Structure 1
């Protein structure tokens, strides 16, 4: 494993242009990085355009710091969209994978990515449930692979959890920490692999407890959320957080869990929300109407 310096990251590719993928791409572009946003089809790429346009308004409304790079409108000029994987990564210094939380989907993507990315390119997964060790054998470059985990609403909740494997080159790890800091994030350096990192190790038990209260008929979502907000001073309750995260993500995580309660919650979400197109804040309705 080499400790040799690695050139600072400048060209970034984000794989997946959904709710969080688009935020990851826009945050980097807003802070002056050259960004390519990739998705699997022309339709998916076309759907990303309005998300980026919406983020311009959000960044301007929230007065996000970063005007030295021309502001939110200028960030759009630094984002290139494509549905061609080889084209997306041909000059990338860093590729950030933000595709659905499915081992099969990620395996297929990394195996393709390994064949088209330049040798110098660093791969990072944004997975919130899979460890980088679960994926490293698919990448073809375990020394240049780690996890870089973003929180939703990245311009406000601007943590970047950095977690390597026993194979990750320390110089690669430091280059990604440096990238996170230069893209307006607060790097959270994790010393060893841990499912859930720091943030989700704290958050997931809260969300699971809330789901249990709902499924057991103890309290409805509004009551649970009100209790949590009043009792702790938190700005959002757990079901509001579910809506922000997205109910599709909550469903995928629940389905992948061996816990019986999680399976019940997945079925509940599918029947009452997902099958009805109520996916959270992104669609204007989830547990709440927005």
Structure 2
């Protein structure tokens, strides 16, 4: 058994809320920290939704859910939230300046033996190691959305991370039912986001540039037998996270299309409060998105052919 029993999750967003709930479900004592009281209230509501999911899909009993709730506390006081933590998992927005500021504020508040793990989806742990004030006790522990079903974590070191830290974090991952994926070399995007970000960006490009509508993009992927397509996947990841990733890497790589995709997300979703599954509205409306409805992949009736033809633009030069 690992010594990492008291866990603090920094950030109560989509994935932070899931990490906190799942860790508590697996027996850990968990504090959820967020700077904003409204974010904490959204997290509580998310945990109510997760309780229903765990009862239905994970095989939990009512007693398990009650015990999970008993192990969870919520705080907007950083000092109190980390005062007794064995492990802090950072899941704040995917913005380097925000992460660095949190680490620097927290550095003087932690007990000496506390480990820190970043849930960053695209940044390297070396980017933040010095800001933590304890680089030897810091590494990356990246969870996937829908943690109860996508039960893997990617573990990445930086040059200063100690073998003991990596051992204890990996043991923690196993204890909470995660399959550890060792990232053998430092890589922006780790394993999953190295392919996922280009995948989502390509799907968004089709929508941004008016090549296809979201439903048709997703239809082409659902034929593989998947439960949702790339645009539905964006709803699950959360539009704020999608925007942060595309915006940062669009600037970083001088990628005009990726930056245009970020602007599209901002104008059509963030500015309208459509943050994805967490708010019930993104590309689709939840809990009954179109892609889960019968008939989404059915061959259409002849009567719709004129409407389809009207959407097809002839190629230039033909």
TM-score normalized with structure 1 length: 0.93
> Does structure 2 retain, via aligned residues, the 8 Å contact 1:40–1:83?
yes
From 1, 17, 35, the equivalent of 1:22 is: 17
> Does structure 2 retain, via aligned residues, the 8 Å contact 1:165–1:192?
no
Measured in 1, the distance between the counterparts of 2:64 and 2:14 equals 21
Superposed, 1:231-242 pairs within 5 Å as 232-242=224-234
> Structure 1's 260 and 171: CA in aligned 2 closer, same or farther, altered over 3 A?
same
TM-score normalized with structure 2 length: 0.85
> Does structure 2 retain, via aligned residues, the 8 Å contact 1:56–1:73?
no
Q: Which residue of 2 aligns with 1:186?
A: 179
From 182, 192, 209, the equivalent of 1:216 is: 209
SS of match in other structure, 2:58? coil
Measured in 2, the distance between the counterparts of 1:42 and 1:244 equals 22
Q: Which runs of 5+ in 2 are unaligned?
A: 287-318
* CA displacement 1:10-39 (0-9 Å, x = unmatched): 111101111211110011000001111111
Q: Which runs of 5+ in 1 are unaligned?
A: 1-5
Matched, 1:10 2:2: no
From 229, 237, 247, the equivalent of 2:239 is: 247
Residue 215 (structure 1) shift: 2.2
> Structure 1's 175 and 47: CA in aligned 2 closer, same or farther, altered over 3 A?
same
Superposed, 1:144-159 pairs within 5 Å as 144-159=137-152
Higher-Rg structure is: 2
Matched, 1:137 2:133: no
Larger RCO (CA within 8 A; separation ≥ 6): 1
When structure 1 is superposed on structure 2, of 181-190 and 39-48 the one drifting more is 39-48
Q: Which residue of 2 aligns with 1:128?
A: 121
From 202, 212, 215, the equivalent of 2:195 is: 202
The number of equivalent residue pairs is 282
Matched, 1:270 2:266: yes
Residue 233 (structure 1) shift: 2.5
From 280, 291, 301, the equivalent of 1:284 is: 280
* CA displacement 1:100-142 (0-9 Å, x = unmatched): 1111111110001111001100000001121101111100011
CA RMSD of aligned residues (A): 1.6
Q: Which residue of 2 aligns with 1:111?
A: 104
Measured in 1, the distance between the counterparts of 2:235 and 2:143 equals 17
SS of match in other structure, 1:74? helix
> Does structure 1 retain, via aligned residues, the 8 Å contact 2:46–2:278?
no
